[in-house]
Amino acid sequence: MINQDGLLDIATAQNRSRSGMYSGLNSSFRYDEGGLYARVIDKPAMDCVGKGISIKGDEDKEICNDFDRLKLIQVFQDAARYIDLSGGAVIVPIIAGRAYKSFITPFNPNTQYTIDSLRVYPISDFSPSGDVYTDANNPKFNMPIFYNWNNVTIHESRMIAIKGMPFSSMNVQANPFQGRVTAAKKMEAVNAYYDAVGLTLKVLERKQQAVYTMQGLADALLTDKQNQVTEGEQTVRARINLVDNVRSLLNSVVIDGGDGTKESTGDEFVINDLSLSGIKDAVAIQESRVSADTGIPVTVLFGQSANGLNATGESDWRNYYSTLTAIQSMLRPAIERIVAMLAGQIGVKGLADNWKIEFNPLPDTDEKADAEVAKLKADANKVEADSIATIYNLGFTDDAQIIEYMKSKNLFGYAEEVSKSEAASYANETS
């Protein structure tokens, strides 16, 4: 139910259907709808490796050139999506000339082979087959040897598993590579945002509330002893319908003016215009929630600048880079293993002993955005500097007073410190 101003429901998205936490399956359904549901998954997945991967020690670029053939960047972008949507991903190298029955045998890197393609799947497609490594000296001790994969038994050495964000020790999963479905929280936030927008539209529809004051309404609605509908109630309903029809057809209302006496003033029809102030801010709360739960800046998600004098968006971008770096850390072991497999192919000269992969620089704000940020900084610094000079000339002598006053006026934020000496110096320069 929308309250009079509609802001509480919009800010809290009270009217959304609550089916509990989104599962991996529900998250996938939402993702398939597209829009913001898909963007919160696709954007980090695209950006984390979108600028490419290079190999230090691949002097002839032989391995890097194979990246294009195998569409490695796209493979790892899909893997990043599955990490979000299912809690992990598995990349299966398809060896040229090998039948599916070969998946059950361990991969032998000392044989001659060529990787024909790389297939990526959600971790939910794989389940342990039961047998585990029993040698305590084996790094894979107590880990499954075989997995069931779409009615195919596959040896773990032919799987390149990427685990998502871990569960707590209290939540043990059957699949050791199963992580949390991080998309669930993201979808919940996006759903709340969409519901807030929907509630906003309902508020706009009810911006003008018609109030029809009918003479003798209470008496007319009284029921008889058998609780039957009275003739008066039927009359009231007919009259309301008449008012609605006339208003809809002619955009005007004709009502009873009474007999002209003080006691009989007749019906009244007024329209109450509801205030829309604060609706934009209420929707912005949900936008901020989506940004917080996804780690993606509002500027990226909604194409708008951050609000406030001191809001340059720099901190949002730093947080986003941290998110992308975390995804890269999860992908790195899988990339390194694939590079090692590519180096062992037929005819490949190999890599330097000290080779390592490097992610190319992460995407930055575009030139226009950079210019806007620089201008915002310059304007804000000028406002702050002018304010310091003004406050000093007004007679403020205490640092704390200066800072407190400027904070109260939303004029403080860029300067690391505001001191009397700095203020005096600037005042003298500008006087």
Residue 19: predicted pLDDT: 39
Q: Is 393 helix (H, G, I), strand (E, B) or coil?
A: helix
Residue 115: predicted pLDDT: 93
Percentage, residues of the chain above pLDDT 70: 57
Q: Is 18 exposed, middle or buried (0-12, 13-18, 19+ CB in 10 A)?
A: exposed
Decide if pLDDT at 13 tops 80. Answer: no
Range 205-241 burial, b when 16+ CB lie within 10 A, else e: eeeeeeebebeeeeebeeeeeeeeeeeeeeebeebee
Going from N- to C-terminal start, the domains of the chain cover: 7-188+317-359, 209-273, 366-431
Alpha-carbon torsion angle 97, 103, 109, 115, nearest 10: 40
Cβ contact 342:91 at 8 Å = no
Q: What is the CA radius of gyration of the chain?
A: 33
- For the chain, the helix, strand and coil percentages under 3-state DSSP, each to the nearest 5: 50, 10, 40
Read off the pLDDT of residues 94-151 as tens digits, 9 standing for 90 and up. 998 876 678 999 999 888 899 999 999 999 999 998 889 999 998 889 899 999 998 8
Residue 77: predicted pLDDT: 96
Dihedral sign (CA 390, 392, 394, 400): positive
Ranges of beta strands (E only) in 264-408 are 268-273, 356-359
Residue 212: predicted pLDDT: 64
The values of phi and psi at residue 87, to 5°, are 90, 10
Residue 315: predicted pLDDT: 72
